[in-house]
Amino acid sequence: MQMPSDMREFNRQVIEEFRANGGRLSGPLAKSTLLLLTTTGARSGQPRTAVLGYGRHADSYVVIASNNGATSHPAWYQNLLANPTATVEVGRDRFQVRARTAEPAEREQVAAAVSWLEQQQALTSREIPLVLLERIS
């Protein structure tokens, strides 16, 4: 899939469609396994929503802080480092999570949940963080 020139507008449209259709998307994203992650801006304190692919590991959702191979971590990951409590939307389900970066000892096992990690890791020299989103009861 070719990346659009205006990613903010593209993400805004995906978020709008996701919420309007209970997590179902059309077009090239129709078969994607996506969630919405709303973090609190580390500097602004404002809510920020990101569209992320995910996998499952035990009871956690697993996302990768790839930033499409950029040399820096994505803003949503920086936000989680500052405030690990966030909101996840999967389908019509919306719930609070606590985020944590996978420890080195569990990394290999958690990585199995996200088949695209290796492809993304090849784009950058930094180690891409694996983030576990654990539902808060």
> Which CATH number do you get for residue 81?
2.30.110.10
- Cα separation, 64 vs 17, in Å, equals 23
Start-to-end CA span in the chain (Å): 37
Print the domain residue range for 24: 7-135
Q: pTM for the full model?
A: 0.92
Mean pLDDT of all residues belonging to the chain: 93
Asked whether residue 103 is domain-assigned, the answer is yes
> Taking the alpha carbons of 78, 90, 113, 3 in that order, is the dihedral positive or negative?
negative
Q: Where are the alpha helices (DSSP H) in the chain?
A: 7-20, 75-82, 107-111, 117-121
Q: 111: phi > 0 → left, psi -120 to 50 → alpha, else beta; which?
A: alpha
**pLDDT per position as a tens digit, 79-133:** 999 999 999 999 999 999 999 999 999 999 999 999 999 999 999 999 999 999 9
Percentage of the chain with pLDDT > 70? Answer: 96
Asked whether residue 2 is domain-assigned, the answer is no
Asked whether residue 37 is domain-assigned, the answer is yes
Asked whether residue 1 is domain-assigned, the answer is no
* Contact criterion met (CB below 8 Å) for 39 and 89: no
Asked whether residue 81 is domain-assigned, the answer is yes
Count of domains forming the chain: 1
Half-sphere exposure (CA, 13 Å, Cβ side) for 96? 6
**pLDDT per position as a tens digit, 27-72:** 988 888 999 999 999 999 999 999 999 999 999 999 999 998 899 9
pLDDT of residue 137: 80
